[in-house]
C-alpha cells in the first residue's frame, strides 16, 4: 500500500472588501504570491493561506486563525510601529496587547477588516 504524504494545508480566509484585505495582509507582513479570480495566495515563510473574495457575516465572525511565531511581543511592536490600528481601525481592525495564557502561549489577538480573529503567539512552556 502506498504511503500518504501531505504537502501543505491552507485555509480559505474570507474577505468582505477583497482589495482592502489584500492591502491589510501585505501590511501585516504576508507576501502576496498570486491573485487569480478572487483568490489571493499569501505566504510568510512556511505559513500560508488563501484570501477569498467571499463574505458571509456569520462565517467571518466565527473564523479564526492561529499564527505561531518566535516572538509575539516583537510582532505586536512591529504592527504598532506600522500603525495598523490607525490605518485599518476605521475598517474594524482591532488588536489587544500580548498576554500569557494558562495553556502555555503568550499571544495577542488581531481582528482583520472582515472580522476574522487571528491569535498570534509563541510558546512559553
pLDDT recorded at residue 2: 78
The dihedral over CA atoms of 104, 30, 78, 115, expressed in degrees to the nearest 10, equals: -70
Domains of the chain (ranges, CATH numbers): 12-52+61-123 (3.10.180.10)
Mean pLDDT, contiguous 10-residue spans, the chain (125 residues): 87 98 98 98 96 97 97 98 97 98 97 98 94
> 0.85 exceeded by the pTM?
yes
pLDDT recorded at residue 125: 78
pLDDT recorded at residue 7: 87
Supply φ then ψ for residue 107, to 5 degrees.
Answer: -150, 170
pLDDT recorded at residue 69: 97
CA–CA separation, 81 vs 83, rounded Å? 5
CA–CA separation, 42 vs 51, rounded Å? 7
pLDDT recorded at residue 26: 98
Amino acid at each position: 500500500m502506498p504511503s500518504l504524504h501531505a504537502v501543505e494545508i491552507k485555509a480559505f480566509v474570507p474577505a468582505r472588501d477583497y482589495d482592502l484585505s489584500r492591502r491589510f495582509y501585505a501590511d501585516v507582513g504576508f507576501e502576496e504570491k498570486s491573485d487569480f479570480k478572487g483568490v489571493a495566495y499569501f505566504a510568510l515563510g512556511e505559513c500560508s493561506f488563501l484570501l477569498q473574495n467571499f463574505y458571509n457575516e456569520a462565517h467571518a465572525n466565527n473564523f479564526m486563525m492561529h499564527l505561531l511565531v518566535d516572538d509575539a511581543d516583537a510582532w505586536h511592536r512591529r504592527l504598532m510601529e506600522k500603525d495598523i490600528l490607525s490605518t485599518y481601525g476605521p475598517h474594524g481592525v482591532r488588536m489587544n496587547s500580548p498576554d500569557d495564557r494558562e495553556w502555555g502561549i503568550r499571544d495577542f489577538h488581531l481582528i482583520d477588516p472582515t472580522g476574522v480573529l487571528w491569535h498570534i503567539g509563541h510558546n512559553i512552556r
